[in-house]
Amino acid sequence: MATKNYDVKDLSLAKAGKLKIEWAARGMPVLKDIQARFAKEKPLKGLTLGACLHVTSETANLMLTLKSAGASLVLCASNPLSTQDEVAASLVKDYAIPVFAIKGEDNKTYYKHLNSVLDAKPQITMDDGADLISLLHSKRQDLLKNVIGSSEETTTGVIRLRAMQKDDSLKIPVVAVNDSDTKHLFDNRYGTGQSTIDGILRATNILLSGKVVVVAGYGWCSKGISMRARGMGANVIVTEVDPVKALEAAMDGFRVMKMSQAAKLGYLFVTATGDKNVISLSHMAAMPDGAIVANSGHFNVEIDVAGLEKKAKLKRNIRPFLDEYTLPSGKRIHLLADGRLVNLAAAEGHPSEVMDMSFANQALAAEYLVKNKGKLTAGVHVLPKKLDETVAKLKLKAIGAGLDMLTAEQSAYLSSWEEGT
């Protein structure tokens, strides 16, 4: 590469990154299938696609799929702590894809990198958390006219986009990839469930069996976390604000209570709600000495880290991604990964087997936006059910599962009303 149209930690890490990308590819047969079709049909030929995603080995495989579709790509991180530096290096060195992402980058660099992606004047953008689209609609509005559409990966991003739409601020069509069933039912539940526990264990090496684990929220992500913590023998308490979800948690067999009560009982606390200050300073003050606090929601707003920083009389880094804060009372609180998403910061994010479906949806969303150029209204769109079913069928085939088909008699029965008791 003649000019330095990238910013990664160290290109000499590329060899390790390439092996990691190849390893992840083994778990992504659906994406591979789409990649083979894209290589023939070139649905993104001549277009520039700017992506703001967690720079992982799974994302690298998505980038290769989009490249095979004929797109020019530029990628930045969607979180300052989620980049796998060796993967970023390999994308630049081995695949000539410009990447702007360094694990641990400060906020200023994070936004500089987002701007570098927009400098490429993308016609399609891809987000995980909606930071790129938000920048596009605020400081870089001049670029909006080039954009055919965008896609969004995560629940938090979709919530932000719907708020923009409600405000009449969203000027382009955006596909909410998160809302595909083959995304949130698998990635959010099984992916977050496993990778969150993975991140917590890598950061702490604690035993979960017999511990009281408090999970804030009971959406798809927190359901997965609760389920997996219970599976490892933890005694799980759920906190919620939504009465239906709270009831669902109770009937799934979890204790459900207010955070102010749970704070006194928990050993490990995990947030995945998408909202702010779910664990406040007063909650932390009520926790038992030695409590561990982690977040798996997209933004680092769920735990009042600033309040903890201010109040603590001592802070020590104990291990990578594990800081101990001593409050004036002498109580110690352990915060993982600065309150940023623990599954990507302290571990490697969701396994490739679930990202396979999420990123198949992302690839199909890019194709869908181009195929429907000029026909989609500005606002949030969901991929057609047919595409969801295509992804599910490809995955079923890849895992060797059979699928029954309705007989003609069964189909007719389902669309009739005359036959009853």
β-strand 124-127 against 99-100: which pairing, if any? unpaired
User: How far apart are CB 344 and ligand ADE at their closest, in Å?
Assistant: 6
β-strand 212-216 against 268-271: which pairing, if any? parallel
User: How far apart are CB 347 and ligand ADE at their closest, in Å?
Assistant: 9
User: How far apart are CB 362 and ligand ADE at their closest, in Å?
Assistant: 10
Q: In 3D, which of 19, 150, 3, 178 has the Cα closest to residue 84?
A: 19
Report yes or no: 364 and 393 within 8 Å, Cβ to Cβ: no
Taking only Cα atoms into account, the Rg of the chain, rounded to an integer number of angstroms, comes to 22
Nearer to ligand ADE, 116 or 156 (CB): 156
Distance CA 94, CA 63 (A): 13
Give the position of tokens 């929601």. 297
Nearer to ligand ADE, 202 or 332 (CB): 202
User: How far apart are CB 67 and ligand ADE at their closest, in Å?
Assistant: 17
The structure tokens listed for 184 are 């949130």
Residue 274 annotated as part of some ligand binding site: no
The structure tokens listed for 163 are 């708020």
Strand (E) or helix (H) holding 322: strand 322-326
User: How far apart are CB 6 and ligand ADE at their closest, in Å?
Assistant: 19
Q: How many residues contact ligand ADE, by CB under 6 A?
A: 10
Largest CA distance in the chain: 75
Q: Does 151 contact ligand ADE by CB under 6 A?
A: no
Inter-helix orientation angle 85-93/57-68, to 10°:
20
Q: Does 155 contact ligand ADE by CB under 6 A?
A: no
Name the residue whose CB lies closest to ligand ADE: 349
Nearer to ligand ADE, 225 or 281 (CB): 225
User: How far apart are CB 13 and ligand ADE at their closest, in Å?
Assistant: 18
Q: Does 355 contact ligand ADE by CB under 6 A?
A: yes
DSSP string for 277-312: -SB-HHHHHHSPTTEEEEE-SSSTTSB-HHHHHHH-
Q: Does 54 contact ligand ADE by CB under 6 A?
A: yes
For ligand ADE, the binding residues in 107-146 under the rule CB under 6 A are none
Strand (E) or helix (H) holding 255: strand 255-256
Nearer to ligand ADE, 56 or 68 (CB): 56
Residue 128 annotated as part of some ligand binding site: yes
Residue 224 annotated as part of some ligand binding site: yes
List the Cα angle 312/108/302 in 5-degree steps. Answer: 45
Interface pattern 174-203 for ligand ADE (x via CB under 6 A):
-----------------x------------
User: How far apart are CB 134 and ligand ADE at their closest, in Å?
Assistant: 18
Report yes or no: 339 and 305 within 8 Å, Cβ to Cβ: yes
Distance CA 369, CA 1 (A): 30
Nearer to ligand ADE, 74 or 344 (CB): 344
Distance CA 230, CA 271 (A): 16
Q: Does 56 contact ligand ADE by CB under 6 A?
A: yes
Nearer to ligand ADE, 56 or 300 (CB): 56
User: Which residues contribute to the site for ligand ADE (CB under 6 A)?
Assistant: 53-54, 56, 58-59, 191, 344, 349-350, 355
Which residues fall in the annotated binding site for substrate? 56, 128, 153, 183, 187
